[in-house]
Structure 1
Amino acid sequence: MEIRQMRYFVALAETLHFGKAAARMNMTQPPFSRQIAAIEREMKVELVVRNSRHVALTLAGQRFLDDARRVLALLDAACRDARLVSQGQIGELRLGFMMHAAHRLVPDIIRRYAQIRPNVKIVLAETTPGNIRQQLAQGELDAAITFAEPMAPEFDSISILTDQLCLIAPSGHPLALRDKIRASDLEDVDLIVAPEHIASPLYAAIMQYCQTAGFVPAIKFAPHLQHTIVRLVAAGLGVGLVPASICDDTMSEVVVRPLEFPPSFEVVLTFAQNSINPAVAALVEMFEDGGTTVADRSGA
């Protein structure tokens, strides 16, 4: 049985009139009547009782009407959902992000995206920049917020934030008493920074900053997470160089100090040029249209 035949029967059951049902389906009555008869022959069931003045459903016809309506509703919903997915209106968006971006940047992006795509489920993957590169390449993420760095040619990036380094120190540390930190002030100071394989742009910025003052930094600990760096600094185990975007009034356990001539680096939205997920387009358009976020000011 074809779907159109099921629609013919529903039209007849709702009008109980062959002429009116045929008109609803944009048909003349004779071919419409033949279609109903063909359904009954195929099913080997009498669905309607008809005479010259009256059309009524049999018990089998009443049951078939209920089931046909459910089938057609499911089919219509499936067609509608397929169209909405193709338009990026529903579906799923797998968004990866660096852990320190969760501080202010990611909540604002999610809020804005949810306003324009409320029916798209956002699946968040909080990880490190090194893992983000791998997950994007393997197709495990649709897009990611990470540091700007060379990517495979099939990926594009849009700058969403210019961040810069700042110093965090435990309360009472000599550097915590200064208004601004020079690169030379960091010589022979125990530093706590993320390792190169985890956040290579951040690591490179730290190394270059110290080398401009003529020394190689003394890295005491190299944890993977920026928040772990904060906790180690708070425990008095050294000072940290971290993105300014995570430094605000909530970091009461450490002292935040600006750097003189601080290195800056870009935070970008990275995505596949030919992504098969239509939900990515709306995320990209948020930044291509020049929209700003609360984090746009964090590196200032």
Structure 2
Amino acid sequence: MPQFPSRFPLAHLPTPLEPLPRLSHALGVRLFVKRDDQTGLAGGGNKTRKLEHLTAEALAQDADTLVTVGAVQSNHCRQTAAAAARAGLRCVLVLSGHPPSSGVTGNLLLDYLLGAEVRWAGDRPRDAVYREVVEAERAAGRRPYAIPLGGSTALGAAAYAAATLELKAQLDAQGLAFNRIVFASSSAGTQAGIVVGARLAGLRSQVLGISVDLPAPALQGLVARLATETAARLGAPHTCAPDDIAVNADYLGAGYAVMGAPEREAITLFAQIEGLLLDPVYTGRAAAGLIDLIRRGVIGPDETVLFWHTGGAPALFAYSDQLTPTPDH
């Protein structure tokens, strides 16, 4: 049996597994959603599961500060700030670029409300600034616990191995099986955990990550390496090769966090047909890929597909000018 690490309780688990009947009818494929947008911590999202393990380790190491890194509208940073607040820890976030010139909104607003201290990378490489901030915290006599991008370590990814066992219990209870499990993939932790969990649970579903920023070979390599490390950490060693990892990188559009017409359509479709909120960066792009794969017949009408919703709705407010209907609509 796998040996899962200690948790600091943050998430509302299990998250719901729900059918999407109206979207299924509209697209012609039987669709379900795993609602990790409802993990419950300051707007929810997939990082809350990972942060249960990471925060537990930080407390076990007597840390007094969580330090992490991300983009301006990082869901991970928002959830890290909330986890720190719940655990009574300081939080320092290293964010890309410069402070916004007009208005603080979306995840960044929540970062500040949650008490995080923000350090801006400016024109310098973000990871270099992140490392400097960690060292500066130590030099100041504090005890920082450093969380890399997305919380994507073997410890963090273990949470998604557990989540996949949670899913398996729901499938057994409802008499369901999925041909594919589709979700947004970027820093590799969520996909690595699901890959390991699917093997532990005996699931035969394709575990398909829709890349939001990396070419397929790069992301496959990251996921394979992290999945191998995660399996070893759980005491269930298994070597994953890049060719074992299913990634589709056909939907990168104009780049990371640049919302185009496919993301806008997916966000609108999910909202207006199922009342389900996606975000412009991750779930919107993954859903756009899912919709296109269905329309092109890559995913056939006889399949049953799970869309694993990883959260991110607070970022919608940072894209309000691109999502607000024009007067003639």
Q: TM-score, normalised by structure 1?
A: 0.27
Select the structure that is richer in strand.
1
Flag the structure with larger Rg.
Answer: 1
Q: TM-score, normalised by structure 2?
A: 0.25
